[in-house]
């Protein structure tokens, strides 16, 4: 990419591949995220969604292709370096330190942040609690004592403490009650409205994904089989891509 070009693409994968041993889980995936966009990644179990997110974040090694963050090839960089440059992952299972309080979990994340980026005031505990008010009464509770929805909110808060420009969220609704899902999406809505955070989220609930995202990417057997604007998208088309229904020609 020409370094003088405006940074109209925040995060990019070019022909990205990743494996688990012999099994190729992500196959030559190319995608682009523009600033402020919300993109939903959908696909059936085992389609490769988690592996793709982990490979973008640098937690899982790429086998081929490259990952670019604001025009810089970050493929050789380990996860913590990508965090410092504004890429944060909210992993499946959330991985909070269960014995530590929510506040302590947030403070640890703060230590891993990079320098503040232009025009970004940076996330403080106070600002995070403002954005996710449900956390206010929970700050001194051990993370292990939280409900699923509360844990998800705390995991998003922890990622925010690293000052991300791009947030990758795995399985937003998995294991949450419908009410907790509503709460988490309300938080995400506020986040993108107030902070303009760019979001790439894995969502099993197709209706929810289509309602919330600007674009939908469908992954099947490690490949992107559908990429479309969410507005006006025919749900049947996504379902067919999901399950690999072939049309006779």
Residues near ligand ATP (CB under 6 A) are 20, 23, 25, 43, 45-51
Nearest approach, Cβ of residue 153 and ligand ATP (Å): 21
Choice between 212 and 242, CB closer to ligand ATP = 242
Nearest approach, Cβ of residue 53 and ligand ATP (Å): 8
Nearest approach, Cβ of residue 225 and ligand ATP (Å): 13
Query: How many Cβ atoms sit within 10 Å of the Cβ of residue 230?
Result: 17
Choice between 54 and 82, CB closer to ligand ATP = 54
Choice between 46 and 78, CB closer to ligand ATP = 46
Choice between 48 and 65, CB closer to ligand ATP = 48
Choice between 47 and 153, CB closer to ligand ATP = 47
Choice between 102 and 213, CB closer to ligand ATP = 213
Give how far the C-alpha of residue 182 lies from the chain's centroid of Cα atoms, to the nearest Å: 18
Nearest approach, Cβ of residue 171 and ligand ATP (Å): 7
SS3 29: strand
What is d(CA 66, CA 195) in angstroms, rounded to the nearest whole number?
A: 28
Q: Which residues lie below 8 Å from residue 138, measured CB to CB, with a gap of 6+?
A: 102, 146, 150, 154
What is d(CA 249, CA 247) in angstroms, rounded to the nearest whole number?
A: 6
Q: What are phi and psi of 135, to 5 degrees?
A: -80, -20
The distance between the two most distant Cα atoms of the chain, rounded to a whole number of Å, is 61
DSSP assigned state of 142: B
Q: Which residues lie below 8 Å from residue 111, measured CB to CB, with a gap of 6+?
A: none
SS3 220: strand
Nearest approach, Cβ of residue 45 and ligand ATP (Å): 4
Nearest approach, Cβ of residue 42 and ligand ATP (Å): 9
């Amino acid at each position: 990419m020409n370094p003088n070009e405006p940074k109209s693409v925040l995060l990019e994968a070019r022909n990205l591949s990743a494996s688990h041993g012999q099994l190729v889980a992500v196959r030559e995936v190319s995608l682009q995220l523009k600033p402020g966009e919300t993109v939903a990644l959908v696909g059936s179990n085992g389609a490769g969604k988690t592996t793709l997110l982990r490979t973008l974040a640098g937690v899982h090694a790429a086998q081929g292709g490259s990952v670019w963050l604001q025009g810089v090839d970050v493929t050789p960089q380990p996860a913590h370096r990508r965090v410092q440059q504004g890429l944060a992952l909210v992993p499946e299972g959330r991985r909070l330190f269960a014995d530590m309080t929510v506040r302590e979990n947030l403070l640890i994340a703060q230590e891993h942040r990079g320098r503040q980026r232009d025009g970004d005031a940076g996330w403080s505990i106070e600002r995070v609690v403002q954005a996710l008010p449900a956390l206010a009464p929970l700050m001194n509770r051990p993370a292990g004592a939280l409900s699923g929805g509360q844990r998800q909110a705390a995991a998003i808060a922890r990622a925010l403490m690293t000052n991300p420009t791009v947030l990758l969220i795995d399985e937003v609704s998995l294991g949450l009650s419908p009410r907790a899902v509503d709460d988490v999406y309300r938080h995400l809505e506020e986040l993108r409205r107030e902070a303009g955070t760019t979001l790439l989220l894995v969502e099993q609930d197709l209706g929810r994904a289509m309602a919330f995202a600007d674009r939908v990417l469908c992954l099947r057997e490690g490949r992107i089989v559908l990429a479309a604007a969410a507005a006006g998208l025919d749900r049947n088309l996504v379902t067919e891509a999901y399950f690999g229904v072939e049309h006779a020609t």
